[in-house]
Amino acid sequence: MKLVAGNWKMNGSLAANRALLGGLAEVSGVEVAVCVPYPYLAQLQERPAGLGLGAQDVSEYSAGAYTGEVSASMLAEFGCRYVIVGHSERRALFADDDATVGRKALSALQAGLVPIVCVGETLAEREAGQVMSVLGRQLGAVLEVLGAAQLGRVVLAYEPVWAIGSGRSASAAQVGEVHAGIRDWLGARGVAANAVRILYGGSVKADNAAEIFAVRHVDGGLIGGASLIAPEFMAICHAAVA
Ligand code: 13P
């Protein structure tokens, strides 16, 4: 079954969330979750049936004098199943480096959460032919912290930086090539590659979702802007039904 996860990013209000959630309905044959800003985890304790919950970041530390941080066990207490780590916005704007992303993934797993580990290249890196070397570096740092057995328990999200919020999704051929490359990379390092769900993220909309979800090795999507519009998000969820 595919996984469609909405990443609300830093959007929403109590009223706007209520309206959005009111437009979501259970879809069978696909797993659906929303990753919301921390304060709204409380509001999301009541949510449509079948809708899973996640956060967008987590501390690498478990407790203590870390002002402003939120621990994985706190997220677990609020019913989170997922937490995004290593989103390109956090890497670019908040200095989350490869090793930090690995430690955040570990702290999530230790609290029983499933980290959605994001990887992806910039346009300059793609044009320089460095896609798999960049992904290998990002994944390698996570492998180093988690080891192969635990890396087999994460969800990966391939999010090319140039496709995020740009309206320009990667093509089906580009997505297929990279997802196959990730699967091979994992298998070559002793990770149970077929157990790892690999999502695609970057300008997934209602009108291109079916084409992307049909690509081999695409196990779902991580949806930004379109997850804030109930009919769009619902259409994407329906496109992911096998
Ligand atoms: P968009 O769907 O808005 O391009 O964002 C993708 C993303 O960053 C999801 O994490």
Closest CA to 226 of 235, 218, 217: 235
| Ligand 1 nearest atom to the CA of residue 9, by list position | 10
Render the burial of 11-39: b for 16+ CB within 10 Å, e for the rest. ebeeeebeebbeebeebeebbbbbbbbee
Alpha carbon nearest to ligand 1 atom 1, residue: 224
> What pLDDT is recorded for position 169?
96
Q: Give the rounded percent of residues in the chain with a pLDDT score beyond 70.
A: 100
CA distance 68 to 53: 21
pLDDT band at 242 (very low <50, low <70, confident <90, very high): confident
How much is the average pLDDT of 123-140? 98
* 202/118 Cα distance (integer angstroms): 11
pLDDT of residue 87: 98
Mean pLDDT of 222-227: 98
Tell me whether residue 159 is one of the annotated catalytic residues.
yes
| 122 pLDDT tier (thresholds 50, 70, 90) | very high
CA 221 remoteness from chain centre: 8
Domains of the chain and any CATH numbers: 2-241 (3.20.20.70)
Residue 220 in contact with ligand 1 by CB distance below 6 A = no
Please name the residue whose Cα sits nearest to atom 7 of ligand 1: 224
Segment 157-208, tens digit of pLDDT: 999 999 999 999 999 999 999 999 999 999 999 999 999 999 999 999 999 9
Q: What is the pTM of this model?
A: 0.98
Measured CA to CA in angstroms, residue 189 lies from 82, 98, 103 at distances of 24, 18, 19
